[in-house]
């Protein structure tokens, strides 16, 4: 999930716009409950990844996202006691007690799982298509803390990936028997704070965040058509989500009884979201094929 | 006014029981090239952190006294502000790159200083050319080797033309060629740009010749401050592990003053009419008879990457039980890949790897083998006792010292139902002082005595001579040389010990060199009292 420069409209957009566009995608996924809208957002992420020529990187994100989504789908019906439409009676099952699987709880699990997949894939798209170096420069004068947050969100992915690969080798070198995969994940995660501090120290040693008198500020170039298109797309996504929430088009009733009839009502909004997210990719003028 | 001025500096790390630096007072003038010497834990790295402002700003802890660098008091100015005047290179290059490409990494400090784009572009080109990393400019930093990363991190430290460069063991991950190049590049910067250099190093034989001054630390205090040659005289008497092989050679041969480098040593020998190259090669005294049989066989092994790059080319090697082998070569020569094939972490593209029993591999980062929260959970009690780690059983592996962590990782790697037939160590001496290297050499002896073939990838010729009875030199995936240490390490220039360079290949160790000189003179070597106190001389004493 490391950034790779590719010829695409999203790569051509300035980093602040790329960040805003990916953030709009994540916000939409976090706000909306409607499965059709979430499905549209997932299609938008995948299609955007392909249009940005980072499908291979997005596949890496999918390998993390899909198991998490499936886990959510499987666990939620076991722990959620809502819903009236029982689809399976499992009887007494420790530690859950009497267990009835309801259609509504299953749908809720699917919604949460789908949301998790969209959010993780959107982060994957961000990491693959928005230049982290430019993002770091963007935050240069915002101070070290904000820079560190941004760096941890982007640069640390690669650092921890390398750590995990090394430790996976280390696991195989243990004469005492291989440590569990969970132990590897725990050790990598446990070292993340230390690694973040190392990165923070490196940033400081290179003079990051220090304000200097007479700083030469790079004059920002005029906004390109790609900047304008993706910025407009981000604004439109948020506007459509707000509109959907106010109008009730994105409302989805699943408790106490699933209202399948309302599913299609979000169709136009979903289509609109998909459209406004993908339209900026259509302008491929000036991008080598 | 001095460029660096420390007065009464005492620093204690957060949670530490004792101070890492105690009441240190020193001045460094602009244009000086200062080498900082000392054993592990003596306070060298802490000095670097204080000069760069990391201590106490980023690291916390308790700071007393006053440190002024380039007119800035480090209590008031943090690393970000000090970065205008101080370029810093820390030990681990992997944690020092923050940008995605080499070009961006080199441009980053210049941009942070507010330089206009033209000056940034020029600065990047200049520093890349100076360090020989221009071909890497558009590479991703994630794809660089350890040695390449080190040079890029050095480039980033130098890009802003700092008045002072502080470096913490910059050659620890570099092969002898790259290490020597880096030291002489620093000297050139010092002479041509007037850059003041403060260099922390364990392998002093590499850098003393370039230094104007040596600061030796012991127990957090300055134990010696003076020119390189007097430093070596002091080290021979007061801190033998810090004495270079060349200095020990001279001491054993009764010559003085101690030479700070190969050139000075040769000049002194010429003055004394001692042409060592006229002497017969005196063999060093590692005594080891490998057992019959074969525990590891590389049969025409090739290793090719998906992109077409070839790492190993037709490698054909056999190893017998009890053999102690040093695997040497430049960064990227294929040493680590060979060890990974022995362990079975990699599959050959062509050829076969045959092993005659369990293979243990200690990776470059020993911490990568440790996953438990307590030392006691890593190994059964008897194995902990055998490794001498029982006293540390309640500690977290991450809180152990470098040497302790390595010992634990080696015990974890070699522990199992069966004794390993082959033990592979991948660059185990990085950042080690001579005393710890001696401990490791003893451990290698023990493993070999138990019948294991021990393969050690190392960049350190002095260490190779101390433990190995066979040296394999790899270059670009090909076996360039395979023979005894005398055959491989005596005639080379980069892959040679300091004594071999001084004596033009007539001897590898100080002791053999002294014997050679004595033979020429027709007298016995003096073998002064220093012999017994040199940690890496245990083989000779045996």
Please write the tens of the pLDDT for every residue from A82-103: 888 888 888 887 777 788 889 9
pLDDT at A77: 87
Chain A CB contacts of B78 below 8 Å: 204, 210
Q: Please report which confidence band the pLDDT of residue B415 belongs to, taking 50, 70 and 90 as the band edges.
A: confident
Considering the domain boundaries, does residue A214 fall inside one?
no
Nearest residue of chain A to residue B162 (CA atoms):
A206
Q: Given a cut of 70, is residue A152 above it in pLDDT?
A: no
Residues A112 and A151 in one domain: no
Residue B119 pLDDT: 93
- For B:446-485, CB contacts with A below 8 A are none
pLDDT at residue A289 above 60? no
pLDDT at residue A191, as a whole number: 79
B112-119: long-range pairs with CB below 8 Å, 24+: B112/A140, B112/A206, B112/A207, B112/A208, B112/A210, B112/B80, B112/B83, B113/A207, B113/A212, B113/B83, B113/B84, B113/B160, B114/A212, B114/A214, B114/A215, B114/A216, B114/A217, B115/A216, B116/A216, B117/A218
Residue B536 has pLDDT above 60, yes or no: no
Question: Who has greater pLDDT, B278 or B484?
Answer: B484
Quick: pLDDT tens for B205-224: 989 999 999 999 999 999 99
Cα A192 to Cα A201: distance, rounded to the nearest angstrom: 14
Tens of pLDDT along B56-75? Answer: 998 889 999 999 999 999 99
What is the pLDDT at residue B533? 47
Closest CA to B204 of B217, B195, B193: B217
- CB contacts of B420 in chain A (<8 Å) are 175
> What is the C-alpha to C-alpha distance for residues B89 and A200, in angstroms, rounded to an integer?
14
**How far lies B498's CA from each of B172, B248, B516, B538, in Å?**
17, 11, 15, 18
Per-residue pLDDT at B180 exceeds 80: yes
CA distance A42 to chain B (A): 28
Asked if pLDDT for residue B279 goes beyond 70, the answer is no
- Quick check: B303 and B310 in contact, CB under 8 A? yes
Give the number of residues written for chain B: 542
The answer to whether position A288 is within a domain reads no
Whether residue B496 has pLDDT greater than 80: yes
Q: Does domain B296-489 have CATH number 3.40.50.300?
A: yes
- Whether A157 and A20 share a structural domain: no
pLDDT for the residue numbered A203: 86
Residue ranges of E strands in B29-185: 33-38, 62-69, 72-73, 86-89, 164-168
Query: What mean pLDDT is predicted for residues A42-54?
Result: 95
Indicate if the pLDDT at residue B95 is higher than 90. Answer: no
Average pLDDT over residues A36-63: 93
User: To the nearest whole angstrom, how far is the Cα of B529 from the nearest Cα of chain A?
Assistant: 43
The boundaries of the domain holding residue A83 are 9-136+225-282
Q: At which of A166, A184, A209 does a domain end?
A: A209
Looking at A209, A236, A253, which one is the last position of a domain? A209
Give the residue carrying structure tokens 């250099």.
B197
A217: pLDDT strictly greater than 80 = no
What's domain B4-234's superfamily in CATH?
P-loop containing nucleotide triphosphate hydrolases (3.40.50.300)
Examine the domain organization and report whether A119 and A231 are in the same domain: yes
Instruction: Give yes or no for residue B539 having a pLDDT over 50.
Output: no
Contact A202 B96 (CB under 8 A): yes
Q: What is the pTM of this model?
A: 0.81
Residue A48 maps to a domain: yes
More confident residue, A136 or B105: B105
The mean of the pLDDT values for chain B is 88
Q: How confident is the model at residue B538 (pLDDT cuts 50, 70, 90)?
A: very low
- Smallest CA–CA distance, residue B109 to chain A, in Å, is 5
Res A262 pLDDT > 90: no
Tell me which of A28-37, A209-218, B116-125, B330-339 is least confident: A209-218
Rounded to whole angstroms, how far apart are CA atoms B107 and B102? 9
Least confident of A231-235, B43-47, B88-92, B217-221: B88-92
Task: Answer yes or no: is A56 within a domain.
Answer: yes
In which band, very low, low, confident or very high, does the pLDDT at B199 lie, cut at 50, 70 and 90? very high
Across the interface, whether the CB atoms of B414 and A197 are under 8 A apart is answered no
Looking at the structure, tell me whether residues A157 and A75 fall in a common domain: no
Considering CB atoms only, which of A191, A204, A217 is closest to B79? A204
From the candidates A159, A162, A164, A173, which should be mutated to test the interface with B, based on the most B CB atoms within 10 A? A173
The answer to whether the CB atoms of A208 and B108 lie below 8 A apart is yes
Q: Residues spanned by CATH 3.40.50.300 within chain B?
A: 4-234, 296-489
DSSP state of B507: B
How many Å apart are CA B252 and CA B266, to the nearest integer? 16
3-state secondary structure at position B400: coil
Whether residues A146 and A197 fall in one domain: yes
Nearest Cβ partner for A169 among B58, B363, B414? B363
Residue contact B111–A140, C-beta within 8 A: yes
Q: Do B363 and A166 touch (CB under 8 A)?
A: yes
Interface test with A, best of B86, B156, B164, B368 (most A CBs within 10 A): B368
Whole-number pLDDT of residue A153: 65
Q: Which DSSP letter does residue B344 get?
A: T
Where helices occur in B27-145 by DSSP H, the ranges are 44-52, 54-57, 79-82, 102-112, 117-131
Summarize the confidence of residues B273-301 as an average pLDDT.
Answer: 71
Let me know if residue A125 belongs to a domain: yes
Check CB contact under 8 Å for B412 and A137: no
| pLDDT of A154 | 65
CB-based contact B127:B87 (threshold 8 Å):
no
| B99: DSSP letter | S
Asked whether the predicted pLDDT for residue A252 surpasses 80, the reply is yes
Could you give the 3-state DSSP secondary structure of residue A137?
helix
Phi and psi angles of residue B523, each rounded to the nearest 5 degrees, phi first? -135, 170
First to last CA, chain A: 23
Q: What is the pLDDT of residues B433-453, one digit of tens each?
A: 888 888 899 999 999 999 999
> Is B14 in CB contact (< 8 Å) with chain A?
no
**ipTM for this model:** 0.79
> How does the average pLDDT of chain A come out, rounded?
85
Q: Categorize the per-residue pLDDT at B416 as very low, low, confident or very high, splitting at 50, 70 and 90.
A: confident
Indicate which of B112, B118, B372, B426 best probes the interface with A, i.e. most A CBs within 10 Å of its own CB: B112
Residue that is last in its domain, among A209, A234, A257: A209
Integer Cα distance of A160 and A164 in angstroms: 6
Same domain as A92, residue A187: no
Which B positions 409-438 lie with beta carbon below 8 A of chain A? 412-416, 420
* Contact yes or no for B474/B481 (Cβ under 8 A): no
| Residue A278 located in a structural domain | yes
* pLDDT higher than threshold 70 for residue B278: no
Is residue A24 located within the same domain as residue A97?
yes
CA atoms of B13 and B45, how far apart (whole Å): 12
At residue A147, does pLDDT exceed 70?
Answer: no
pLDDT of residue B239: 92
What is the pLDDT at residue B284? 54
Provide, rounded to the nearest whole percent, the portion of chain A with pLDDT above 90.
42
pLDDT band at B401 (very low <50, low <70, confident <90, very high): confident
Q: Chain A contacts of B120, Cβ < 8 Å?
A: none
Helix extents (H) in A191-224: 192-205
Q: Say yes or no: A112 and A145 in one domain.
A: no
Residues A132 and A145 in one domain: no
Cβ neighbours of A175 in B, within 8 Å: 358, 360, 412-416, 420
**In the predicted model, is pLDDT for residue A155 greater than 70?**
no
Question: In this structure, what token pair is assigned to residue B106?
Answer: 């080199």
* Amino acid B289: pLDDT: 56
Q: What distance in Å separates residue A140's CA from the closest CA in chain B?
A: 8
> Which pLDDT does position A197 carry in this prediction?
81
Q: Over range A149-157, report the average pLDDT.
A: 66
Q: Are residues A129 and A69 in the same domain?
A: yes
User: How confident is the model over B116-168, as pLDDT tens digits?
Assistant: 989 999 999 999 998 889 999 988 887 787 778 888 999 999 998 899 999 99
Residue A29: what pLDDT? 95
CA distance A173 to B490: 34
Model pLDDT, residue B523: 64
Helix or strand or coil: residue B246? helix
How sure is the predictor about A113, in pLDDT bands with cuts at 50, 70 and 90? very high
Count: domains in chain A:
2
Is residue B301 pLDDT above 70, yes or no? yes
Within-domain flag for A1: no
Q: Are residues A37 and A124 in the same domain?
A: yes
Model confidence over B327-365: pLDDT tens digits? 999 888 999 999 999 999 999 999 999 999 999 999 988
Q: Is the Cβ pair B98, A172 closer than 8 Å?
A: no
User: Is the pLDDT reported for residue B232 higher than 90?
Assistant: yes
CB–CB contact B78 A204 (8 Å): yes
Of B323 and B94, the structure prediction assigns the larger pLDDT to B323
- At B35-49, the pLDDT tens digits run 999 988 899 999 999
Q: Are residues A114 and A144 in the same domain?
A: no
Minimal-distance CA residue of chain B relative to A161 = B142
- % pLDDT > 90, chain B: 59
Q: Is the pLDDT of residue A180 over 90?
A: no
Pick among A164, A202, A203, A218 to test the B interface (most B CBs inside 10 A): A202
The whole-angstrom separation of Cα A110 and Cα A267 is 18
Q: Does any CB of chain A come closer than 8 Å to the CB of residue B124?
A: no
Among B95, B155, B158, B367, the residue to mutate for chain A (most A Cβ within 10 A): B95
């Amino acid at each position: 999930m490391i950034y790779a420069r590719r010829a695409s409209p999203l790569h051509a957009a300035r980093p602040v716009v790329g960040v805003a566009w990916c953030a709009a995608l994540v916000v939409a996924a976090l706000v909306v409950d409607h499965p059709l809208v979430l499905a549209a957002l997932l299609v938008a992420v995948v299609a955007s990844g392909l249009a940005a020529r980072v499908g291979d990187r997005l596949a890496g994100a999918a390998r993390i996202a899909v198991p998490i989504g499936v886990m959510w789908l499987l666990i939620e019906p076991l722990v959620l006691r809502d819903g009236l439409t029982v689809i399976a009676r499992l009887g007494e099952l420790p530690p859950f007690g009497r267990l009835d699987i309801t259609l509504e709880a299953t749908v809720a699990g699917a919604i949460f799982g789908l949301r998790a997949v969209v959010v993780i894939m959107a982060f994957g798209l961000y990491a693959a298509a928005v230049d982290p170096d430019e993002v770091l420069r963007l935050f240069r004068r915002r101070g070290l803390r904000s820079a560190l947050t941004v760096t941890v969100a982007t640069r640390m992915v690669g650092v921890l990936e390398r750590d995990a690969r090394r430790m996976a080798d280390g696991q195989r070198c243990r004469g005492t028997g291989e440590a569990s995969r969970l132990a590897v994940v725990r050790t990598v995660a446990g070292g993340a704070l230390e690694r973040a501090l190392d990165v923070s120290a490196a940033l400081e040693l290179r003079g990051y965040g220090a304000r200097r008198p007479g700083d030469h500020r790079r004059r920002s170039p005029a906004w390109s058509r790609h900047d304008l298109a993706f910025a407009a797309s981000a604004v439109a996504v948020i506007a459509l989500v707000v509109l959907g929430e106010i109008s009730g088009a994105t409302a989805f009733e699943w408790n106490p009884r699933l209202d399948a009839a309302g599913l299609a009502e979000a169709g136009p909004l979903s289509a609109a979201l998909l459209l406004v997210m993908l339209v900026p990719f259509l302008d491929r003028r000036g991008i080598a094929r | 006014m001095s460029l660096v001025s420390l007065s009464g500096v005492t620093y204690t790390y957060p949670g530490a029981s004792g101070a890492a630096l105690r009441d240190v007072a020193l001045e460094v003038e602009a244009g000086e090239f200062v080498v900082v010497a000392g054993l592990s834990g003596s306070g060298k790295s802490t000095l670097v952190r204080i000069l760069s402002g990391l201590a106490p700003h980023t690291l916390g802890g308790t700071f007393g006294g006053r440190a002024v660098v380039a007119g800035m008091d480090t209590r008031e100015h943090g690393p970000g502000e000090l970065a205008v005047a101080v370029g810093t290179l820390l030990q681990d290059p992997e944690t020092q790159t923050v940008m995605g490409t080499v070009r961006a990494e080199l441009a980053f400090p210049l941009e942070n200083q507010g330089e206009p784009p033209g000056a940034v572009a020029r600065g990047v080109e200049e520093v890349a050319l100076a360090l020989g990393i221009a071909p890497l400019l558009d590479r991703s930093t994630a794809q660089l080797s350890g040695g390449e990363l080190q040079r890029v991190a050095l480039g980033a430290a130098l890009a802003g033309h700092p008045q002072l460069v502080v470096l913490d063991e910059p050659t620890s991950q570099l092969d002898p060629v790259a290490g020597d190049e880096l030291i002489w590049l620093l000297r050139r910067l010092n002479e041509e740009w007037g850059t003041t250099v403060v260099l922390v190093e364990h392998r002093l034989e590499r850098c003393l010749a370039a230094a104007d001054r040596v600061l030796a630390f012991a127990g957090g205090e300055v134990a010696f401050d003076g020119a390189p040659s007097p430093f070596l005289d002091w080290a021979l008497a007061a801190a033998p592990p810090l004495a270079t092989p060349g200095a020990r050679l001279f001491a054993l041969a009764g010559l003085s003053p101690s030479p700070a480098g190969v050139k000075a040593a040769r000049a002194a020998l010429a003055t004394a009419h001692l042409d060592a190259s006229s002497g017969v090669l005196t063999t060093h005294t590692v005594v080891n008879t490998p057992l019959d049989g074969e525990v590891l066989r590389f049969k025409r092994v090739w290793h090719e990457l998906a992109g077409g790059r070839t790492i190993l080319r037709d490698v054909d090697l056999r190893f017998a039980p009890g053999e102690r082998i040093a695997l040497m070569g430049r960064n990227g020569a294929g040493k680590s890949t060979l060890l990974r094939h022995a362990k079975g972490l990699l599959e050959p593209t062509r050829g076969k790897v045959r092993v005659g029993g369990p293979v243990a591999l200690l990776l470059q980062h020993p911490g990568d083998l440790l996953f438990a929260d307590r030392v006691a959970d890593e190994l059964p009690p008897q194995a902990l006792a055998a490794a001498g780690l029982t006293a540390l059983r309640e500690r977290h592996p991450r809180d152990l010292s470098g040497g302790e962590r390595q010992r634990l990782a080696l015990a974890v790697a070699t522990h199992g139902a069966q004794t390993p037939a082959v033990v592979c160590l991948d660059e185990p001496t990085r950042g080690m002082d001579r005393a710890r290297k001696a401990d490791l050499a003893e451990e290698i002896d023990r493993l070999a005595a138990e019948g294991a073939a021990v393969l050690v990838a190392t960049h350190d010729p002095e260490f190779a001579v101390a433990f190995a009875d066979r040296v394999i030199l790899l270059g670009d995936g090909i076996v360039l040389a395979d023979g005894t240490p005398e055959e491989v390490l005596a005639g080379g220039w980069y892959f040679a010990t300091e004594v071999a360079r001084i004596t033009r290949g007539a001897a590898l160790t100080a002791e053999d060199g002294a014997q050679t000189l004595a033979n020429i003179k027709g007298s016995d070597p003096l073998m002064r009292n220093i012999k017994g106190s040199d940690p890496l001389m245990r083989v000779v004493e045996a």
